[in-house]
Structure 1
Amino acid sequence: MLNEYMEQIEAASLWFFLSVLFFLIGMAIQDVLKKGDVPKFGRIFVWIVLFVGCAGFLAKGVIQFIYESKGLG
């Protein structure tokens, strides 16, 4: 029974791992910004860049899901 769902388990594990990775990257960036005494404008810019990267990753996943559900991929 586990073999039937192996592909789904692998996909869910990958998404979980990447989500944890993004969280840890965010925590590391927050720590560096606090210890480096970065001005407010710089902090905002860094978080915008991080958010855009994460949003691109999520958009890629949504687009991939839509293509695969329509049989295009």
Structure 2
Amino acid sequence: MPNSTYELFESVSIYLGLGGLFILMGLAVHDVLKKNDVPLVGKLVVYGVLGAGALGFLAKGLIEMFWISTGV
């Protein structure tokens, strides 16, 4: 197989793996918050921070795609 195939497989694998980790972190956080009866403000802060991390990860991927498509 050509090197480009390996690079594509690695790229897709890392994005799927990290996306799965974000989902698992969200589920773990949800479980902890639910069991400890955290107030609404605390839940909003925790989910906001987790969401900001996920949005940063998504933004990084979009910026990379833009740079690669423009040849930077």
**TM-score using structure 2 length:** 0.91
What is the DSSP-based 3-state SS (H/G/I as helix, E as strand, rest coil) of the residue aligned with 2:51? helix
What root-mean-square deviation, in Å, do the aligned CA atoms of Structure 1 and Structure 2 show?
1.3
5+ residue gaps, structure 1, are none
1:60 matched to which residue of 2? 60
Once residues 56 and 4 of structure 1 are traced to their aligned partners in structure 2, the CA distance between those partners, rounded to angstroms, is 26
Aligned-pair identity (%): 46
5+ residue gaps, structure 2, are none
**Cα distance, 1:44 vs. partner?**
1.0
Q: What CA deviation, in whole Å up to 9, does each residue of 1:22-64 have, x standing for no partner?
A: 0000000001101111001110111111111100110011001
2:7 matched to which residue of 1? 7
Q: More relative contact order in 1 or in 2 (CA 8 Å, sep 6+)?
A: 2
Once residues 43 and 20 of structure 2 are traced to their aligned partners in structure 1, the CA distance between those partners, rounded to angstroms, is 22
